[in-house]
Amino acid sequence: MSTLLMVSSLLLVIGIYGLLTRNNPILMIISIELIFNGANLNLVHFSRLYNSMDGISLALFSIAIAAIEVALGLGIFLALYKLERKTELRKFRRLSDEEVSA
């Protein structure tokens, strides 16, 4: 049983690591998916553990929402690319305060 929990936490950690290190938006979305899947795995696992369908149904919702979120995220990135002709996230610094402080 704990193997499954370990897999799910591994997925979470890998996802966070990917989110913090990758500069490519696609890869970051994939990392987010990893985190989601880790959480879903947890839900399913505990659902089986306590013989309840709540967790599984929540996991189904979560998968659907994740799909929507990916679609939304990709849409935003496409729009950004059209606007700025770049996708590297570190180059988008318009929300920073540096102009004001300079």
Partner 1 sequence: MNLEILLILTPAFPLLSFPLSLFFGKRTPGQGAVFGILSSLASLITSTYLFFFAGKPISFEKEWIPGFTSGLYLDELSSVMLMIVSGISLLVNVYSLGYMHGEEGLPRYYGELSLFTGSMLVLVLAKDFLILFVSWELVGLCSYLLIGFWYKREEVAKAAKKAFVVTRFGDSFMLLGIILMYVSNGTLDLVEINSHAREMSSLLIALLLFSGAIGKSAQVPLLGWLWDAMEGPTTVSCLIHSATMVKAGVYLVARLFPYFSESGALPVVAYFGAFTAIVSATMALVEWDIKRVLAFSTISQLGYMFLALGVGSYESSISHLISHSSFKALLFLGAGSVIHAVGSRDMRSMGGLLKAMPITSTGMLIGVLSLSGIPPFSGYFSKEAVMHSVMENGNILLYSIGTLTAFLTAFYSLRMWILTFLGPTKKEIKESPSVMTLPIIVLMVSTATLGLFIHSGGGTPYPLLLAIAGLILSYRYHNAFLRAGPLSTLLSKRYFLDELYDLIGNCFFSAGKALDLLDRQGIDGTVNWISSSTLNIGDKIRRLQTGEIQLYLLLIVIGALVLLIMTW
**Could you tell me which stretch among 12-20, 41-49, 58-66, 73-81 binds partner 1 (CB under 8 A)?**
12-20
Minimum CB distance to partner 1 smaller for 15 or for 55? 15
* Residue 83 in contact with partner 1, rule: CB under 8 A: no
What residues contact 73, with CB distance under 8 A and at least 6 apart? 25, 29, 32
Size of the site for partner 1 (CB under 8 A): 15
Query: Nearest distance from residue 53's CB to partner 1, in Å?
Result: 29
To the nearest 5 percent, what fractions of the chain are helix, strand and coil? 80, 0, 20
Look at residue 48 and give its three-state secondary structure: helix
* Residue 101 in contact with partner 1, rule: CB under 8 A: yes
